[in-house]
A and B are shown apart, each in its own frame.
Chain A
Amino acid sequence: MSLIATESLTKTYGGKVTALADLTVDVEPGVIGLVGANGAGKSTLLKILLGLLAPTAGTVSVLGIDPTRDTDAVRARVGYMPEHDSLPPDVSAAEFVTHLGRMSGLPRTAARERASEALRHVGLYEERYRQIGGYSTGMKQRVKLAQALVHDPDLLLLDEPTNGLDPAGRDAMLALVHRIGTEFGISVVVCSHLLGEVERICDQLIAIDGGRLLRADRISSMTTASDVLAVEVSEGTDALAAHLAGLGLEASRDGRLLLVPLADDAAYDRILRAVAELDLPLHRLEQRRHRVAELFATAPALEAADV
């Protein structure tokens, strides 16, 4: 069964502003990255998936249910983490998450138990009786994640979960999201304008720009045969490039680096041999995966955002 399926989904505001245009995607359960620049229509899509907005045209189904018609059934199985600050400062995390668990229909004791569990999973077990107002930004993001998890959803919709976090906080949050998607058996849609960070944890990617679908595919199929070898030599970079071209390997310059596509295993040896033949002082040899960003050459807006 597909996790999320849309068919020519279109949303316009007041007939003028087009937020989503003719969007057709079909994604399978897993960790899905939803990327696009600010204003690309990511949040609009999430709101349609939650049944908060009705699409202007087209159909949508989440977990096989139509959110426009069967809103409650969808919301009972979906957890949502909004982008903006959404926590009251003067209650404890345990109390707040318990309350929202009850708002999802959990009985009193179950809500309390699940709130403790959810807070433990996001790493706030020790601090859960402290007031949220005294939390750091990273801890607040974790509380928002915990409230989305409390009712054991089948799908999590996370709107910019790494917003406002420092690099270490980002890594921790991304690792947590990845763990939820792989170990907890809960599918996750991660919204982000930073392609570089979602590509690390997602197995599928939906890229939208200006409300239109750029590409939706599994990350593995986007990056097959796209590995490159970065070669850095202290001198004679041009000579090496010319030599490699003679061998049929089109190298591209990136600063002091030469990026050589690795078509097959033999290419690696041929590059090494080329360096040895020219007797160049080899500085660095690094195999790297093509960044998915490079696959979106048609989306300047995306690359600009991916800094």
Chain B
Amino acid sequence: MSDPSVIHDIGYQRYAGPRLGRGAVFGALYVHGLRAAFGLGRSAKAKIFPWLAVGIVSLVAVIIAAVRSQIGVLPLDYQQFADTLSWLIIFFVAIVAPELVSRDLRAGVLPLYFSRPLRAFDYVAAKVAALVTAAWLLLAGPQFIIFLGGAFTTKTGFRGVLDELGDLLPGWGYSLIWAVLFAAIALLVASLTGKRAFAAGGIVAVFLMTTPVVGVLAFLDTNNSQELAGLASPMTLVSGVGSWLLPGPGTGIDVGRFGPVYLIELVTVVATCLLLLLTRYRKVASL
């Protein structure tokens, strides 16, 4: 006979339920990172910047869609949209990348991760995937808004929707290039320091300090140096790849016949950043 109002200490219960493998752990860390990128599950302060960025890009997209529906001319196509808003992506990754990795470094949480069945590779891959997704969503979401605007106002029926989709998909691919390159560079810089402010400053510096170099090179007289100038900065690098792979009216910069060079550099930079990031965490994980 026990009194129902009494709380009984039932003692320690062993856990007999399922234990998931590395794949599920990776998934959980990825979702955790993606939510953290937008400040979900964090304090209100952490939500301000990501959602401000989301608000700005959405507003721009809505304006573009509205202008097109009224005057029938697209002020910015999908690629130009990504190019134009790239400065916002810089600030987004500069705020979010430290949130994803510097925070763990500063608090010393990593020993807790790496004493579990989770490898340095899983940790790095989940963080990169989360930031790439977040940065991509920031561009792809508004691009989708523009697409919806176009699809609903098209005058050629279903064919018009398909044409519009044919423009949207390369645009999404182009946004993915932006997201991958920026995420790789930003995470590498952020993984070097536990101080979020330093990390953010370092990331912005990497992107903005290289831009004047492009300007200087572009002023040189020879045709080649003008066409190769874009290699010096991550932003013009993506533009260059974009204008080679997706030639269109007024996109990106003039790369002449050096398109493949741009693509090779892009792949090399991304691969190098990811390898350095992995090496860094291999070292951290063994401590």
Residues of A participating in the B interface, judged by any CB pair closer than 8 Å:
47, 50, 52-53, 71-72, 75-76, 78, 80, 82, 84-91, 95, 99-100, 102-108, 110, 114, 117, 121, 147, 151-152, 180, 183-185
Contacts and interface: CB of A to CB of B under 8 A. Distances in A.
Given A52-B286, A104-B117, A185 B17 contact: no
Contacts of B24: 105, 107
A86 B108 contact: yes
A50 to B, nearest CB: 5
A85 B108 contact: yes
A147 B112 contact: yes
23 contacts: A47-B286, A52-B115, A52-B287, A82-B115, A86-B107, A86-B110, A88-B103, A89-B107, A90-B46, A99-B32, A100-B112, A100-B113, A102-B25, A103-B28, A103-B29, A103-B113, A105-B19, A105-B24, A107-B20, A108-B28, A147-B112, A151-B19, A180-B12
Given A75-B115, A102-B28, A114-B15, A53 B286 contact: yes
Nearest to B285: A52
Contact of B19 (A76, A108, A184): A76
B11 A183 contact: yes
B22 interface: yes
B104 to A, nearest CB: 8
Contact of A110 (B11, B17, B117): B17
Nearest to B43: A90
Nearest to B45: A90
B8 interface: no
Contact of B14 (A71, A99, A152): A152
Interface of B: 11-15, 17-22, 24-25, 28-29, 32, 41-43, 46, 103-104, 107-118, 285-287
Going nearest first, the 7 A-B pairs with the smallest beta carbon separation are A152-B15, A80-B115, A72-B117, A88-B107, A184-B12, A102-B28, A86-B108
B112 A82 contact: yes
A184 B109 CA distance: 26
Given A105-B117, A110-B18, 4 more contacts: A75-B115, A80-B111, A104-B117, A151-B15
A92 B6 CA distance: 28
A104 B116 contact: yes
A87 B109 CA distance: 6
A142 B5 CA distance: 29
Contact of A50 (B12, B22, B108, B115): B115
B112 A107 contact: no
A87 B28 contact: no
Contacts of A89: 107
Contacts of B103: 88
Most buried by A among B11, B13, B116, B287: B116
B111 A105 contact: no
Given A86-B108, A86-B109, A152-B14, A106 B19 contact: yes
Nearest to B108: A86
A50 B104 CA distance: 20
Nearest to A111: B28
A134 to B, nearest CB: 13
A106 B20 contact: yes
Contact of A107 (B17, B22, B111): B17
